[in-house]
């Protein structure tokens, strides 16, 4: 008799604890609430509407009047809270002629890039220091595995646009040049750790807004 009760209880407990069990259909991010690497806390489901699942911020060409002649419009959980907890996100890249998305990494997400228009020269470097480089045309798709440094450069004479999507709603973005030249890390340490000379480091800090 005890056994007959214990076994169903065990199954119910296993169902509740299994990773595939779903406590809710979604968890639209509450941007005013606390956040963690796992994401934002959930907005009250009674207040969720279809507009929480629609984002129009990728519709327009981005402003490329800047140093890199390029624009990145992210639709990560912070911009598009409907993505929160779903393990996906998306962004739009626009590269004017001569534009570049400098070497960067997404610490928490694989990336897939689809070229919508123009030509993009893209590449990444793996942890064995091997280079994977390709010129991509309209419709071409390329993958950039989690954490690996990669870049995109306009490879043609006209605007190039791509949609990139990620296997995380908070993939993160860290740009190598910004790490080295856009903060207050002392120039002497930048020189020590990069083998660049003082003049070059000062020049790049000047261009990217770094100090020290």
Ligand X SMILES: *[C@@H]1O[C@H](CO)[C@@H](O)[C@H](O)[C@H]1NC(C)=O
Binding region for ligand X (CB under 6 A): 63, 65-66
**Is the CB of 66 or the CB of 193 nearer to ligand X?**
66
Beta bridge partners of 118: none
Considering the complex, what minimum distance in angstroms separates the CB of residue 63 from ligand X? Answer: 4
111 is in an annotated binding site: yes
One DSSP character per residue, 13-80 reads: HHHHHSTT--S-S---B-TTS-EETTEEPBPPGGG--GGGG---TTSSPP---STTSEEEEEESTTT-
As a whole number of angstroms, the distance between CA 119 and CA 97 comes to 10
| Residue with smallest beta-carbon separation from ligand X | 63
**Is the CB of 63 or the CB of 212 nearer to ligand X?**
63
Q: Could you report how far apart the first and last alpha carbons of the chain are, in Å? A: 76
Considering the complex, what minimum distance in angstroms separates the CB of residue 66 from ligand X? Answer: 6
7 is in an annotated binding site: no
**Is the CB of 18 or the CB of 65 nearer to ligand X?**
65
As a whole number of angstroms, the distance between CA 36 and CA 54 comes to 23
Contact (Cβ atoms closer than 8 angstroms) between residue 89 and residue 109: yes
Considering the complex, what minimum distance in angstroms separates the CB of residue 166 from ligand X? Answer: 25
Considering the complex, what minimum distance in angstroms separates the CB of residue 71 from ligand X? Answer: 9
108 is in an annotated binding site: no
3 is in an annotated binding site: no
**Is the CB of 77 or the CB of 96 nearer to ligand X?**
96
As a whole number of angstroms, the distance between CA 109 and CA 171 comes to 5
Annotated binding site for oxalate: 106, 111
Annotated binding site for Mn(2+): 104, 106, 111, 150
């Amino acid at each position: 008799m005890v056994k007959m009760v214990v076994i169903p209880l065990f199954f119910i407990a296993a169902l509740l604890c299994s990773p595939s069990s779903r406590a809710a259909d979604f968890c639209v991010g509450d941007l005013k609430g606390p956040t963690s690497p796992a994401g934002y806390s959930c907005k009250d489901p009674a207040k969720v509407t279809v507009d929480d699942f629609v984002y129009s911020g990728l519709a327009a060409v981005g402003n490329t009047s800047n140093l890199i002649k390029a624009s990145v419009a992210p639709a990560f959980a912070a911009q598009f809270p409907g993505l929160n907890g779903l393990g996906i996100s998306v962004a739009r890249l626009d590269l004017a002629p001569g534009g570049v998305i400098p070497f960067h990494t997404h610490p928490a997400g694989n990336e897939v890039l689809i070229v919508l228009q123009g030509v993009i020269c893209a590449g990444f470097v793996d942890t064995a220091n091997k280079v994977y480089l390709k010129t991509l045309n309209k419709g071409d798709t390329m993958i950039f595995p989690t954490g690996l440094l990669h870049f995109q450069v306009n490879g043609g004479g006209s605007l190039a646009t791509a949609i990139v999507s990620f296997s995380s709603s908070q993939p993160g973005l860290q740009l190598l040049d910004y790490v080295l030249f856009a903060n207050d890390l002392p120039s002497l340490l930048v020189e020590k750790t990069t083998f660049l000379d003082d003049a070059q480091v000062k020049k790049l800090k000047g261009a990217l807004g770094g100090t020290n």
